[in-house]
Amino acid sequence: MKQRFSSLDIKVIAHELSQSLTSLRVVNVYDLSSRIFLFKFAKPDHREQFVVDSGFRCHLSSFARTTAAAPSSFVARLRKYLKTRRVTSVQQVGTDRILEFQFSDGLYRLFLEFYAGGNIILSQTRSSTSSQSCERLAKARSMSMCT
């Protein structure tokens, strides 16, 4: 069984996710474990569940999973910024093992890195300036601001 995504796997999953998730809204985000996250997307006639195993793989799922009783601080922060946001695009960054989700026409971006331990980076683009602030989930699960 394959353990990690290659660059080609990322290209294929980016195309599949782009077709399935574009125009859906984030309903909620859950942590299934310390490195596995569940994103629920929906619009009135369509629902999708997206599972991310940080650094290893991601996939769409219809299987019901049990979630943590209380969200971690990172999941709470993702919920704060992404809940009800519409997915406007899903793409691979160059030929790297990085997926980029754009929400609300690029206002928010979520980067999923599939290297080593993996990172999940939430970036907010400010419309008045070209600077970006982002929140990063490092391997040790600590939050830091980056510009």
- Residue 146: what pLDDT? 47
Q: With 90 as the cut, is the pLDDT of residue 11 above it?
A: yes
Three-state SS at 115: coil
Residue 78 resides in a domain:
yes
Tell me which amino acid residue 52 is.
V
Quote the pLDDT of residue 127.
46
Give me the number of domains the chain comprises. 1
84 assigned to some structural domain:
yes
Residue span of the structural domain in which 82 resides: 7-146
User: Which is nearest to 93 in space by CA: 7, 5, 21?
Assistant: 7
What mean pLDDT value characterizes the chain? 84
- pLDDT category at 117 given cuts 50, 70, 90 is confident
Please check whether residue 132 lies inside any domain of the structure: yes
Q: What is the CATH number of the domain that holds 60?
A: 2.30.310.10
> Is the residue at 58 inside a domain?
yes
Domain annotation covers residue 107: yes
Neighbours of 108 (CB within 10 A): 20
* 128 located within any domain: yes
Could you tell me if residue 34 is inside a domain? yes
pLDDT digits (tens, 9 = 90+) for 36-67: 999 999 999 999 999 999 889 899 998 888 88
